[in-house]
Amino acid sequence: ETASQRLVPYDSQLKKVLSIHEQLLKNMPSLVAPHFESTAKYVVRIFETRKDPNAMAYMATAVESYGDKNVFDFEKLLSHLFGVLSPLLSSNPLSESCDLIAAFYKLCIRYLIFCPGVTA
């Protein structure tokens, strides 16, 4: 049994925890900043294992909050998330991935607005 499988019963709690932390990112970024790198790595692992759109939404908020600061390597993050998402989208019907596509689209918009150098 993988860690991802063990988390299945906790999907609703995971969504709530990500939502709370996302609100902290939006409203108190200076409070979260010292812990952001470790939290971001954890959220990326959640996305890698679970393909959870809430994790992508969290990262979009992080780009909005910290994109203009040197808190995290957002260039590598975008590339990595796309690398995780691409095989999934190419091997499954797009209709099964609507939430992920929408979350990735919102993430890309945040990158264009808050990290324009990364997407250039």
Q: In sequence order, what DSSP letters do the residues of 5-33 get, joined into one string?
A: HHHGGGHHHHHHHHHHHHHHHHH-HHHHH
Concatenated DSSP letters of 31-83: HHHHHHHHHHHHHHHHHHHH--HHHHHHHHHHHHHHTTTTTS-HHHHHHHHHH
Range of lowest pLDDT (2-11, 18-27, 74-83): 2-11
Rounded to two decimals, the pTM is: 0.82
Higher pLDDT, 117 or 112: 112
- Name the more confident of 5 and 101: 101
CB distance 52 to 81 below 8 Å: no
**What percent of the chain clears pLDDT 90, i.e. is strictly above it?**
29
The secondary structure element, H or E, covering residue 91 is helix 74-91
- Residues for the chain: how many in total? 120
pLDDT at residue 37 in the model: 86
